[in-house]
Chains A and B, each alone.
Chain A
Amino acid sequence: MLSAIVRRLLQTLLVVLVMSALVFAGLYLVGDPVLMLASPEATDAERELVRQSLGLDLPLWQQYFIFLGKAIHLDFGNSFLTGESAMRLILERMPATLELATLAMFLSLAIGVPLGVYAGLRPNSVGARGIMTGSVLGFSLPNFWVGLMLIMLFAVMLGWLPAGGRGPVESYGPLDLSVFNWEGLKSLLLPACTIATAKCALIIRVTRAATRECLPQDYIKFARAKGLREQRVLGIHLLKNILIPIVTIGGLEYGQVFAFAVVTETVFSWPGMGKLLIDSIITLDRPVVVAYLMLTVVFLATLNLLVDIAYTVLDPRVRLEAPA
């Protein structure tokens, strides 16, 4: 198992390298940042100076290697816009996205799994059909629309929750979080629910499908034939089996939410990484975008590995690597 993990880590490293090249090459085509930074009346000579100072006049491959060299030290250069270290910018905003993503996934699982199991147990009941139709709505409605509706209902009409922004933060070691105080939680609730709507729908469908697949299996019938209580049959025999797809898909979705909550953060003016990303893309702030994508690639690849390891723990039939 250990050697398999090491092999996977090396593969991950390879993927990260390839991605870094792609990201770098891709963003090289993204317009000419100099045009944005220098004032419109700048002469060509002045533009050239700016170009040189940013190292943009070197050939592409040289830029790439310089980039790689610095990247190892987590130095992705400074933002074209603010001049701050790109890495620092991202890390500053990471806790906000972290608490948003975690709360959103937590809500999705806490609500989605029970509903999905119910829908799987009684597929023809009114409740189950309602749940399934609801889930179709959940993931088909655009994210920003859900956010908008929530704002309209809870912020404008009812006035219960704030319409945007982050609440007061408190320090918890290296992280500044707002989720553990009441005001902060109130601000966190609407954006988390917005994200959770679509993810919950997905979890419901996955859980229902898994439940429907596991329920008619012989081992469930055999468990009943042994005279086990129905709670045990469902709570252990069924649950342990359906956890496998739920954990895998839930884990991967968590990664997606964490890395790319751009829309929700925009709608709610949430000071997280996603908002930073989209602003940077629009303003062509290349170092920030590159730094972000690289971090994301590393994060997602690691998450993939962790999910795979979790899979082998949950399902004893599965090994980390497919046999040669």
Chain B
Amino acid sequence: MSKLETDPALQAAEALAEPPTLVVPAHESLWRVFLAQFVSSKLAVFGFILLLACVVLAVFAPWIAPQNPFDIGTLDIMDSKMPPGSTNMDGTITYWLGTDGQARDIFSAILYGLRISLFVGFVSVSVAFLIGAAVGLVSAYFGGRIDALLMRIVDIQLSFPSILVALILLAVLGKGIDKVIYALIAVQWAYFARAARGAAIVERNREYVEAARCMSLSWHRILWRHVFPNCIPPLMVIATIDLAHAIALEATLSFLGVGVPVTEPSLGMLISNGFEFLMSGNYWISFFPGIALALVVIAINLVGDHLRDILNPRNEI
């Protein structure tokens, strides 16, 4: 990382030289600067490419997967629990990653599972982002009792671990992808709310907000058009990291049996299905979906970690 490190000698050197301004030629936009800083970390770029690959695989799963594992008609029960690399009877399909107890091709199952996992993750994070940001911005802008009340609610929610809140909600709501998404939204909005409020409180005191108020702009216009864009950087950091959490949380819930239904298994469900076969040596049924899950989560975290370095350099933890 360039100038933002706190190397003591660098600090000393910087203190001696003129305050180094980020050298941005006049025609460079902030976007370009951001991109330049982003690609400075090879790990982050690697993570991003990995993530992109996962998304592509997920989106084009029906065309890439050699088999639709959830169309029971295509399954041949004789092929169950076959180790990786084996082929089926007529040699039409190679089970690169083996099959599970119901003769489903693990590779195809992973691709379809990726779809569910990523879909649930993206949707829940997006909605939680909007809700949380709205609550946080309003809370910061109006301050006073509204702020106190809203933030108390946020604090109370945040004091419970997300898994617990999700568990209880799902116990109430029952099974189903949409229920899982609701539960994830309910768990995540609080993080966004708190971050948005923090950022908005800083922005609230800036002059451009005062200027906007002087021009008698309505509060929602000020919030949406002026304050919100400036709060996006820290929120983006939280969004990426939260995406990884959401995917991991959904996987955990599915593993525990309260998440997505068996008919539309996510990666977590696949892992759960394979758990019982672990001891008898058919490791691949859990292992490969596990690797896929780990890769997705790692990719998102690598990107998010570097984003945090760029957008939020003071928040080191």
Contact = CB atoms under 8 A, between A and B. Distances in A.
Are A and B close enough to touch in the complex, i.e. CB under 8 Å? yes
Interface in B261-317: 268, 271, 275, 278-279, 281, 283, 286-287, 290, 293-294, 297-298, 300-302, 305, 316-317
B74 to A, nearest CB: 28
B294 to A, nearest CB: 6
A212 B196 CA distance: 27
Contacts of B294: 141, 145
Nearest to B316: A209
Given A30-B172, A140-B301, A148 B278 contact: yes
Contacts of B251: 142, 144-145
Contact of A149 (B156, B290, B302): B290
Nearest to B47: A136
Contacts of A148: 271, 275, 278, 286, 290
Contacts of B163: 260, 262-263
A221 B8 CA distance: 10
Interface in B187-218: none
A145 B172 contact: no
B11 A22 contact: no
Interface in A129-149: 133, 136-137, 140-145, 148-149
Say what secondary structure dominates the interface of chain A.
helix
Interface residues on A, range: 35 or more
A103 interface: no
A174 interface: no
A163 interface: yes
Nearest to A217: B8
A156 B317 contact: no
Contacts of B281: 156
Interface residues on B, range: 35 or more
A98 to B, nearest CB: 18
A285 to B, nearest CB: 11
Contacts of A288: none
A29 interface: yes
B171 A282 contact: yes
Contacts of B249: 142
B43 A206 contact: no
A89 interface: no
A263 B252 contact: yes
B317 A209 contact: yes
B115 to A, nearest CB: 18
Contact of A142 (B164, B168, B252): B252
Interface of B: 5-8, 11, 43, 156, 159, 161, 163-164, 167-168, 171-172, 244, 248-249, 251-252, 255-258, 268, 271, 275, 278-279, 281, 283, 286-287, 290, 293-294, 297-298, 300-302, 305, 316-317
